[in-house]
Amino acid sequence: MIEGKIIKFYREKARLTQGELCHGVCSVTHISKIERGITEYSPEITALLAKKLNISLEDEIIRYHQSSQKLHQWLESIIMQRENDPRALKEELEKESLIDMPEFQVLFQLLSARHYLFEHKLEPAFAIVQTLQKHEAEMSPQDQNTLKHILGIYYFLKGQYRDCIDCLTSINPEQYSNEEYYYHLAIAYHSIHSNITAYYYGKKALAYFQRTLNILRIIDTEMLLIVQLNAKELHDFAETKAKYEQLIKLSESLHSKDRIGKIYHNLGFECYRRKMYKQSADYYQKAIDLMGDASPHYLTSLDGYIMTCSSGKLYSEAALIPLAEKGLKHAKTSNSHTWIDFQLHIYQLTNQEEKYYQFLEDKVIPHLKQIGYVILIDHYERKLFKYYFEKGEKEKALELASTYISSKKSFYSYE
Question: What are the tens digits of pLDDT across the range 21-35?
Answer: 999 999 999 999 999
pLDDT, tens digit, 9 for 90 and up, residues 50-89: 999 999 999 999 999 999 999 999 999 999 998 889 999 9
In a domain, 227, yes or no: no
What are the residues whose beta carbons fall under 8 Å from the beta carbon of 29, sequence distance 6 or more? none
Average pLDDT over residues 375-384: 83
Is 411 a residue whose pLDDT tops 50? no
Measured distance CA(284)–CA(1) in Å, rounded: 58
User: Among 131, 95, 140, which Cα is nearest to 113's?
Assistant: 131
Concatenate the DSSP letters of all residues of 160-182 into one string. Answer: -HHHHHHHHHTS-GGG---TTHH
Range of the domain at 395: 352-415
Give pLDDT, residue 378: 81
Residue 169 and residue 75 in one domain? yes
Whether 406 shows a pLDDT value over 70: the answer reads: no
pLDDT in tens, 298-344: 999 999 999 999 999 999 999 999 999 999 999 999 888 889 999 99
Last residue of a domain, one of 55, 73, 90: 55
Question: 254 in helix, strand or coil?
Answer: coil
Domain contains 322: yes
Least confident span in 9-13, 139-143, 385-389: 385-389
Among 279, 311, 340, the domain-final residue is: 340
- Which of 132, 150, 178 represents a domain boundary (last residue)? 178
The Cα 336–Cα 187 span in angstroms is 18
Mean of the pLDDT values across residues 200-217?
97
Task: Using alpha carbons, list the distances in angstroms from residue 96 to 53, 67, 101.
Answer: 18, 8, 10
Is residue 407 very low, low, confident or very high in pLDDT (cuts 50, 70, 90)? low
d(CA 127, CA 129): 5
Q: Is there a single domain that holds both residue 67 and residue 172?
A: yes
pLDDT in tens, 91-137: 999 999 999 999 999 999 999 999 999 999 999 999 999 999 999 99
Q: Please indicate, yes or no, if residue 192 is contained in any of the structural domains.
A: no
Total residues belonging to the chain: 415
Question: What pLDDT is recorded for position 415?
Answer: 46
Local confidence band at 414 (pLDDT 50, 70, 90 cut-offs): very low
- 68 and 154 belong to one structural domain: yes
Residue-level pLDDT at 409 = 54
| R_g over Cα of the chain | 27
What digits encode the pLDDT tens for the residues 167-184? 999 999 999 999 999 999
Query: Within this chain, do residues 65 and 126 fall inside the same structural domain, yes or no?
Result: yes
Do 27 and 72 fall within a single domain? no
Claim to verify: residue 67 and residue 174 sit in the same structural domain: yes
142 and 156 inside one domain = yes
202 with 224: CB under 8 angstroms? yes
Q: Is residue 205 a part of any domain in this protein?
A: no
Q: What is the CATH number of the domain that holds 12?
A: 1.10.260.40
Confidence of residue 405 (pLDDT cuts 50, 70, 90): low
Binning pLDDT at 50, 70 and 90, where does residue 157 land? very high
Residue 11 included in any domain: yes
Q: Assess whether 20 and 81 both reside in one domain.
A: no
- The whole-number pLDDT of residue 232 equals 73
Question: Domain with 122 in it: what CATH number?
Answer: 1.25.40.10
Share of the chain above pLDDT 90, in %: 76
Q: pLDDT grade, residue 412 (50/70/90)? A: very low
Answer whether residue 204 is part of any domain: no
Number of domains the chain is built from: 4
Q: How far is CA 388 from CA 252, 317, 363, 365, 367, in A?
A: 49, 25, 17, 15, 20
291 domain-assigned: yes
Q: 410 pLDDT band (50/70/90 cuts)?
A: very low
Is residue 138 pLDDT above 50, yes or no? yes
Task: Say what the pTM is.
Answer: 0.85
398 found inside a domain: yes
- Does pLDDT of 413 surpass 50? no
pLDDT bin (cut points 50, 70, 90) of residue 404 is low
Between residues 41 and 243, the one the model is more confident about: 243
* Average pLDDT over the chain, rounded to an integer: 91
Residue 326 sits in the same domain as residue 369: no
